[in-house]
Amino acid sequence: MTLLGIDLGTTAVKALLINEAGETLASATVEYPLSTPRPLWSEQDPADWWRGTIEAIRQVLTKAGASGADVRGIGLSGQMHGLTLLDRAGNVLRPAILWNDQRTAAQCEEMMRRAGSPARMRELIANIPNPSYTAPKILWVRENEPHTYERIAHILLPKDYIRYKLSGEFATEVGDATGMALLDVRRRTWSDEMLGLLDIPREWLPLCAESHVPTARVSQAAAQETGLAAGTPIVGGSGDQPAAAVGLGSVREGIVNVTLGTSGVVFASIEHYPPMRDTAIEVFCHAVPETWFFMGVMLSAGGSLRWHRDVVASGHPNLVSTAGNNDAYDVLLADAATIPIGAEGLAFLPYLTGERTPHRDPLARGAFVGLTLRHTQAHLARAVVEGISFGLRDSIELMRELGLHVNEVRAAGGGARSAIWRQMLADIFEADIALVNSTEGGAFGVALLAGVGIGLWRDTREACDAVIRVTARTSPSSDPAVRRQYAEAYARFRDLYPALKPTFARLGK
């Protein structure tokens, strides 16, 4: 018996087969293009998603030597917030508008105007709209493409379009649905009041279920295209972040996971709906029933280090043979480790593409502050890695202010491979940094959800307990001087954004 997880990312779709012990049997990844028809726009053709998914499923079955009949359950994960519009016949009306599209600032302001106040908006949907969310994209289409808007019959998120193509069913689940800004997050159902304020018909929205609940079955037509067996159940799944959290075992309060990819995500499960406050931390429904999560998103985490590698450090003599690959990061981190904490007064703001948490500011910019003739390439590398780490700590501190007790931080993503960076994070977060045996991300998480959906495990926590274990742990330094030096450097970092915000605003014009 096998379980299939499908993760529809921004650049590629991944299919993963695991067995009932949680062991990976095979994986396959198929890339597809992304379109930027105008500056700050980001779109994809859903037909490319479906073609990639078909190919990935066929490849993974072949690699594992499995047949479609061996797959007992399917889970879906994917990029969140994307707007996919279908007509009554199920035809796509326009390219999907993606999570990283920035065209809808005016529509976010219109949503706030209609809600009346930030407090009222949080009562309705728990979060303050930003251009990533789906609802402002719907308003943009209504205002700018009325001929498309009048033909809408169905609104789907990206992974749920794959569900539709696999089954003919229109369904989603609470985790991904939160990011549409149309869900009553406390009650885990569509917000009729929000839909009324925005004049969006509820019948356009799909069935919304819990993440482990089977919502569809593979159709005969999809079985012929993919090689799967008709009738195979498909569970709700989840958006990429909650799905990845399940894959790391972050399904209990006190376990935080930090993903060090191009962006940086701080994710923390919470077992009681939190009091609403004016904070940049977002509150979403988790893939575990009656559980939510805090999320902080840093737009340029690993992206800042990559920029440093490709632009600032491009002339580094030890990067010539490693240019463009992961070994180059090891060189930079080894250099950084030779420099004292605080980089001898040099600080870096990692806001190269604006920022989302803790500063909801698209005009925020990156900056080196404190440069002197003493500073070397190694100092610059140290400042960049510290700046990224401090930016992630900002999210953790906001969560602590909301009452979260951090017992353990589970690290994932490319940056988590570095022992140097893990020690830095342990010292800066003042918490243990753990690695787990699962490295397959959202595809693994939704494969586990599929196992719960077919009754292999009683619930998601039991599934995680059965297959996920900690493989390495890094604890904060016991030296009080280390803690003091990081505290001082972090305080300097925190002072910089407020001081430079007016300048960023002027530069942005």
Give percent of the chain with pLDDT exceeding 90: 87
Q: What is the dihedral of CA 320, 350, 442, 97, to 10 degrees?
A: -110
240 is catalytic: yes
pLDDT at 102: 85
Confidence of residue 165 (pLDDT cuts 50, 70, 90): very high
For residue 265, what are the CA distances in angstroms to 146, 308, 410? 36, 20, 12
Q: What H or E segment, with its residue span, contains residue 486?
A: helix 480-508
Considering 160, 176, 240, 427, which one is annotated as catalytic?
240
What is the average per-residue pLDDT within 395-401?
Answer: 94
The answer as to whether 159 is a domain residue is yes
| Buried b or exposed e, range 468-491, using 16+ CB within 10 angstroms | beeeeebebeeeeeebeebeebbe
Question: Do 117 and 219 fall into the same domain?
Answer: yes
* Secondary structure of residue 225 in the 3-state scheme: helix
Least confidently predicted of 167-181, 222-236, 301-315, 447-461: 301-315
Q: What is the pLDDT of residues 347-362, one digit of tens each?
A: 999 999 889 899 988 8
Question: Do 484 and 336 fall into the same domain?
Answer: yes
What is the average per-residue pLDDT within 389-410?
Answer: 94
The answer as to whether 289 is a domain residue is no
Confidence of residue 276 (pLDDT cuts 50, 70, 90): confident
Pairwise CA distance, residues 318 & 314, whole Å: 10
Q: Which residue segment(s) compose the domain that 490 sits in?
A: 302-404+477-508
pLDDT at 463: 97
Kind of pairing between the strands at 432-436 and 408-412: parallel
Question: Do 323 and 222 fall into the same domain?
Answer: no
Out of 62-71, 253-262, 272-281, give the one with best mean pLDDT.
62-71
List the structure tokens of 473. Answer: 């742990």
Which of these three, 240, 267, 283, is where a domain ends? 240
Structural domains counted in the chain: 2
The answer as to whether 439 is a domain residue is no
**In this predicted model, which residue has the larger pLDDT, 222 or 263?**
222
In contact, 90 and 465? CB cutoff 8 Å:
no
Q: What is the pLDDT of residues 467-506, one digit of tens each?
A: 999 999 999 999 999 999 999 999 999 999 999 999 999 9
Question: Do 219 and 342 fall into the same domain?
Answer: no
What is the average per-residue pLDDT within 97-114?
Answer: 94
What is the average per-residue pLDDT within 200-210?
Answer: 98
The answer as to whether 438 is a domain residue is no
Which DSSP letter does residue 98 get? P
Question: Do 491 and 399 fall into the same domain?
Answer: yes
pLDDT at 319: 64
Question: Do 215 and 350 fall into the same domain?
Answer: no
The answer as to whether 213 is a domain residue is yes
Smallest CA-to-CA distance from 330 within 344, 346, 313, 345 is with: 313
- Indicate if the pLDDT at residue 234 is higher than 60: yes
**In this predicted model, which residue has the larger pLDDT, 261 or 29?**
29
* Secondary structure of residue 257 in the 3-state scheme: strand
Question: Do 133 and 217 fall into the same domain?
Answer: yes
Say which residue the tokens 């037909």 belong to: 47
Question: Do 203 and 117 fall into the same domain?
Answer: yes
Smallest CA-to-CA distance from 237 within 210, 267, 269, 207 is with: 210
The answer as to whether 425 is a domain residue is no
In contact, 445 and 5? CB cutoff 8 Å:
yes
Which of these three, 240, 263, 280, is where a domain ends? 240
For residue 69, what are the CA distances in angstroms to 13, 57, 124, 197, 473? 22, 13, 44, 46, 40
Specify the pTM.
0.90
Kind of pairing between the strands at 12-19 and 24-31: antiparallel
Which of these three, 240, 257, 285, is where a domain ends? 240
Question: Do 229 and 108 fall into the same domain?
Answer: yes
Q: What is the pLDDT of residues 116-164, one digit of tens each?
A: 999 999 999 999 998 899 999 999 999 999 999 999 999 999 999 999 9
End-to-end alpha carbon distance in the chain:
58
Question: Do 206 and 317 fall into the same domain?
Answer: no
The answer as to whether 215 is a domain residue is yes
Question: Do 30 and 177 fall into the same domain?
Answer: yes
List the structure tokens of 161. Answer: 């379009």
pLDDT at 325: 55
pLDDT at 326: 57
In contact, 406 and 429? CB cutoff 8 Å:
yes
The answer as to whether 468 is a domain residue is no
Question: Do 191 and 335 fall into the same domain?
Answer: no
Helix 135-144 vs helix 105-115: crossing angle, to nearest 10: 110
List the structure tokens of 37. Answer: 């028809």
List the structure tokens of 332. Answer: 């930079």
Smallest CA-to-CA distance from 493 within 418, 384, 406, 401 is with: 384
Estimate to the nearest angstrom the gap between the alpha carbon of 90 and the chain centroid: 28
pLDDT at 258: 95
What is the average per-residue pLDDT within 276-284?
Answer: 86
DSSP string, 334-369: HHHTTSPTTGGG-EEE--BTBB-SS--BTT---EEE
In contact, 388 and 305? CB cutoff 8 Å:
yes
- CATH number reported for the structural domain that contains residue 225 in this entry: 3.30.420.40
